[in-house]
Every structure is written in structure tokens, then in C-alpha cells.
Structure 1
Amino acid sequence: MFFLNGEGFDGMLSCMISQLSGKTPLDRYRCFETLDVDEARDIVARHFCNHRLELASADARFDACQNRVAGRHLSLNYLRYGADVSIDPGELADFYLIQIPIAGTAEVANGHQYVSSDTRTATLLNPDRHTKMQWHAGCEQVLLQIERAFVRQIAVRMAGTELGPIRFNAKLDLTQPELARWSRRLRGLFKGAEAGEVFSNKNDRCQDLLEEMLVASLLDSQPNTVSPMLGRTSSGATPAIVKRATEMIYERFQEDISLLDISSHSGTTPRNLQLLFKREFGRSPIQYLQSIRLAYARHLLISGSDSLTIAEVADMSGHRHFGRFSVAYRRCFDETPRETRRYQKFR
């Protein structure tokens, strides 16, 4: 198996940019190597999107190279330009793009977020935010391109409900434990592709599972607008009664449901359901229901659904009394719904 668990990210990078035989990551999947700016722009645009690519200096030595292998819903890439270049793709529209420098540095703006990127700080470009970049001379990056629709598909399956826009924090701190583990999974895909074990059409089901795992772990590891909806608590030892209750809560939290509704659906008494929830989650079924409603309200607010009023957010998340919703929201998140919406515009 090609997943490695014991090495840090620096080890990953040294392996990926091993200079044995002068190879680059994914060397067997070379797309192009050119000294011509226009040629590089045209070929990269075919794989990503139309963009502006300009040299910072007319005297700079341009030396572009791209290696690329595509899977079912994502692609792995290696890219360099050699010289200082400015890149303006605007909005990516149909895909998310993760960029990890394996050498050198870059400056990246995605919407309101600005990131100085290096071998420990990667970037994640949201498709509905304008992007501008400056790759400095000597910058080499590995890139993960993921279909926007695929990310939504996985997120909806994880959350168990329909979701608004999905946007990530543009800065990936690869020194954080969860993202370090995720980066090792990505390394596994690169090494598997280089060895011909994945991205080879030998086993489509295996490829699907690997891609699903990578995207699901990214949604779990990197802060995003659906994070409040992904903290669903479950246990393999959960009694069937509790499983039926939680399934009903997730499916119908937007409706007016009562403790009696939940207990009847679960096949037990309200009192017994209370005792089971206290033992399993440390809270009552109604408190559990309220936590799901508040998490969904927060998702709507931070996902940028500006067309919705606060009252509409309250109603869509199952809250029928606006005043009580505001009080409960502030108690849970230490800020008002309006503050969440206002702060999100600058995050």
C-alpha cells in the first residue's frame, strides 16, 4: 500500500522533489516543457481555465513545465514557471485548486484572503472568489484540482442535508496535525500515480474510493463554511433506538418536531429516550435537536447566503421564534447572527 504515516511534511517534500536523474513529480506524465510564455499559458489554460500570465521582468529566464495526471473527479499536477510571474485567472468557476510549494514561495489572493505561501503554507483557491497570484523565481508547486460538483456531493453525503455555498479558508497550515495527515494521504496519491498503481484505469472503484477519502478528509481537516454541519456525533455501539432518533433529527430538524414525535419514531418512551441520549451524548434529545438547528443556521450565515434575512435563516433552520433563536445562537457561538454575517465578509 502506498500511504505512509510516519514521515513529516518536510520528508514528503524532499521525496517529491528528489533530484535523482533530475526528475520532477509525475515526470512520467509530462504535458509540456517550454521557454515560450504564450505556449505555456495556452496549454495550462486547457487544463485549468483561461488566465493572464505575465513575466515580472522582460529579462527573466522563463522555463515552464507541467506534469499532470487526471482521475475521475480530480487531477494531480506539478507546475513551475522558473521566473517571477503574475497570474490572474479570475474565478476558477468549476473547480477548487490546492497549491503546495515544494520549492520557493508565492503570494496568493483569493477573494478577501491573502496568503504568503511556502513549503509549510499551502493555498486553497475557492472557485467563486477572484484569484490573483505572484509566483516567485524558483517556485515549484504540486497542485490538486478537484471538481466543484464532487466536493459538494461528498459534503452533502457527510452532512446528511442540502448545503449552501462551500468555501474553504484559503490558507492551509501544513504544520497542523490534521492537515499534515491529509498531506500524507495526498503524497500517497502522488506516489501511487508515479508507480502506476492509481490513475491508471485498472480499478475504477478503487480510484473512486481514494478520491472520496481525500476530499472527505479535506472537508474534515480544513475550516470551511460547512464545518458546522460536519460534526455529526455517532458511535458504532449506539443503540438502535438512538440511531433511529438521530436519523429522524437530521432528516427533519427544519420541521416542528417534538420529543414525543422523536420517541414514537424511535419505538420507545420519551423518558427512556431521554436517559439513552444523556448516556450517549450527555444531552437531551431536544438539546441535540437544537444543536443541529444552530449548526445549520451558522452554516447558512457563513456560506454567504446574503439573499436570506436573519429571520429567514432562523425559520429555515427550524427556529420559529426569532428572539429565542438570537439568544440561543449567541449563547452557543459567543456572537450574534448579524455579527457572524458581518465578520464573514472579511474572512
Structure 2
Amino acid sequence: MASGGGRFDACQNRAEGRFISLNYIRYGADVEIEPGELESFFLIQIPLAGHATIRNGRTTVSSDTRVATILNPDRYTAMRWHAGCEQLLLQIDRGYVAEIAERITETALDPGVRFSPRIDLEQAGTRDWFVKLRAVVRAAEAGAVFAGQDGYQQRHVEESLIVRLLETQPSGISPLLERPVSSTAPAVLKRALAIINERFADPLTLLDIATAAGTTPRTLQLVFQKELGKSPMQCLQDRRLSFARHLLISDGGQRSVGDAAHLSGHRHFGRFSSAYRQRYGEHPRQTLQGAELF
């Protein structure tokens, strides 16, 4: 719906990919848009000129050339694009984002991904992502990508955009993206970490991890201390805490602290709360109360 005295001068261009589409939209008048829940896709809106006011769920963002937005598909959305606003839009398939997120976190995610709606384009990591996106737009204008292709180049472009977005934009999976080990780490360490990642919710002991990794508890302790500066059980606790934080953030206040503790492998609520507060500087309930931002 258009409002005000401006001329309703609308322009839209679109380039389709496999799971992402690039869009350019301009309005010559103030326009109110109320799509509700997008359901099947995320929508990133990056102002190239002008400004807009975006509400996604309980979060309202004043968006301009320094602040973009990402609309979560399971949150009610209402927008006001002010006269002269021009935006670059990325429409991204929700299932594809969940697939990539599960691959890079090595975790089955339920629920899926929910982002903080405000994207700070002046933050270093996000700025690098935006530079990459502008290069993709230029390639699309030249017909190199987003021109109906379904080959390696198109898949690589889309995957790299989503991976970098997940790495830089705060979301419910951010706690799961810590990478404590390099690709050159000893094989026994990698095997032990794989067991921790796969079975962190089980009541694992040091002997369980060492046996599964094919070594002795003493050797495993020495390898972890040398490579990571912490013990295997400390790494197990870190993994449990990061998964608990993911659950508290991602469920938007729908899951209790007790549920998050249990599902992340904690058997003693008091010790869980103490360890969580020590690591993240807040009580789990405080994280839960702030989950509406996602």
C-alpha cells in the first residue's frame, strides 16, 4: 500500500539461482508492506539508497545503507519502505539454510536457524560478506551466475554465501560454530572430538572417549592438553554448554531451562546453571528472556 504524496514509481529486477534469488526493488513513494510470516524463505534486505523501517517478530529495525535486515520466516513481518528507498534483496530457501547449518555445525538442528534481524554492515565480518555479495551481483549482471545454471559454479557461490552468513550474523547456531581444532591436528584428537560432537548428550566418561578414539585415557589427556590447553572432559562440557545455549536462543522462549539442560547432557541442574553462568556471564534464564531477539 502506498501512502504520502510521492509518485508510486516501482521497479523490480530478479535473477534466479538454485536456492537463492537476487532481487532489486525501488519504490518512489512511501510503501507499507505486511507479508506476515514468509514461511518458506529468509529475506535479506540491503538498502542501496534511502531507508526503511522493518519489524520481524518483536524486533524493529531502522534500516539504511549501514544497517540491513534479515527476515526470519517464522516471525510476523511488517515493513515501511520510505520514498526513494532502493534495496538489494536475497531470497534464500529456508530448508537450504538448515541443511548448510547442520553440515557446518555437525549437529541435527531442531528447531532450525533463526537470525538476529539486524545486520550491521559496518561490522568487519559482515562487511567482508557484503563485499563478496557485491562481487556475486556483478557476476550475475555479466551472466556468469544466477542465469539459470545448475552447475558447480552456481552451487559454490550459493553455498559460500550462506556459510559466511552463518559465520558472521548472530543466530541461534552461533554457539555451535566454535572450532577448537585445526585440520592438521593429530588423528586421535579428531576421533575423540568426533565422539564428543556425536554423543555429548550421553553420560560419557574419559574412558569411554579414549576407548572410542583408540587410545588410553592418559595419552588422550596429554594430546588434548598439548593441542587445546584443556582436558577431554572440559571439551565435553564446552560442547554441552554451547548446545544448551543454542537451544535457549533458538526456541524463542518456548523451551524451559530444564529441558535445555537435560537435552544437552547435563544431569545436575545446579551445576549446569553455575557452569553456564561462568562461561557466558549470565544465567540461562537471562538467555531465555533475550531469545525473542531471534
**TM-score (structure 2 length as normaliser):** 0.96
Specify whether residues 201 and 136 from structure 1 end up closer, same or farther in structure 2 by C-alpha distance, changes over 3 A only: closer
- Equivalent residue in structure 1 for 2:198, among 231, 242, 251: 251
2:181 and 2:228 in contact (8 A); partners too: no
CA–CA distance in structure 2, aligned partners of residues 280 and 98 of structure 1? 39
- Alignment equivalent of 2:98, drawn from 136, 141, 152: 152
1:231 equivalenced with 2:154 (yes/no): no
Residue 85 of structure 2 corresponds to 139
Cα distance in 2 for residues equivalent to 1:266 and 1:155: 26
Are residues 1:74 and 2:20 paired? yes
Say what the alpha-carbon RMSD is for the aligned residues. 1.3
Which AA in structure 2 matches 1:72?
R
CA contact (8 A) 2:175 2:246 kept: yes
TM-superposed CA distance for 1:211, in Å, is: 0.6
Q: Cα distance 1:339–1:202, how it changes in 2: closer, same or farther (>3 A)?
A: closer
Q: How does 1:1-347 map to 2 (within 5 A)?
A: 54-57=1-4, 59-163=5-109, 164-202=111-149, 204-304=151-251, 306-345=253-292
The two structures have a TM-score, normalised by structure 1, of 0.82
Q: Quote how far apart the aligned CAs of 1:200 are.
A: 2.7
Please state how far the C-alpha of 1:117 moved relative to its aligned partner. Answer: 0.9
Aligned length: 293
Is contact 2:253-2:291 (8 Å) kept?
no
Contact between 1:96 and 1:126, CA under 8 Å: does it hold in 2? yes
- Does the Cα contact within 8 Å between 1:159 and 1:232 map onto a contact in 2? no
Unpaired segments of 5 or more residues in structure 2?
none
Deviations, residues 30-71 of structure 1 (Å, cap 9, x unaligned): xxxxxxxxxxxxxxxxxxxxxxxx1112x4311111100110
C-alpha deviation, 1:115, in angstroms: 1.1
Greater than 3 Å deviation, 4+ residue runs: 305-308
Matched position secondary structure for 2:127: helix
Q: Which amino acid aligns with 1:91?
A: E
Separation in 1, partners of 2:136, 2:22? 8
| 1:230 to partner: Cα distance | 1.2
Q: SS at the partner of 1:345?
A: helix
C-alpha distance in structure 2 between counterparts of 1:215 and 1:235, whole Å: 22
Q: Decide whether the 8 Å contact of 1:165 with 1:304 is kept in 2.
A: no
Larger Rg: 1
Measured at CA, do residues 305 and 62 of structure 1 come closer, stay the same or move farther in structure 2, by a change above 3 Å?
closer
SS in 2 for 1:198: coil
Q: How far apart, in 1, do the equivalents of 2:149 and 2:17 lie?
A: 11
Partner SS for 2:6: coil
Q: Which residue of 2 aligns with 1:41?
A: none
Q: Distance in 2 between matches of 1:74 and 1:263?
A: 43
Q: Which amino acid aligns with 1:302?
A: I
Matches of 1:345 and 1:149 in 2, distance apart?
A: 22
How far apart in 1 are the matches of 2:7 and 2:252?
45
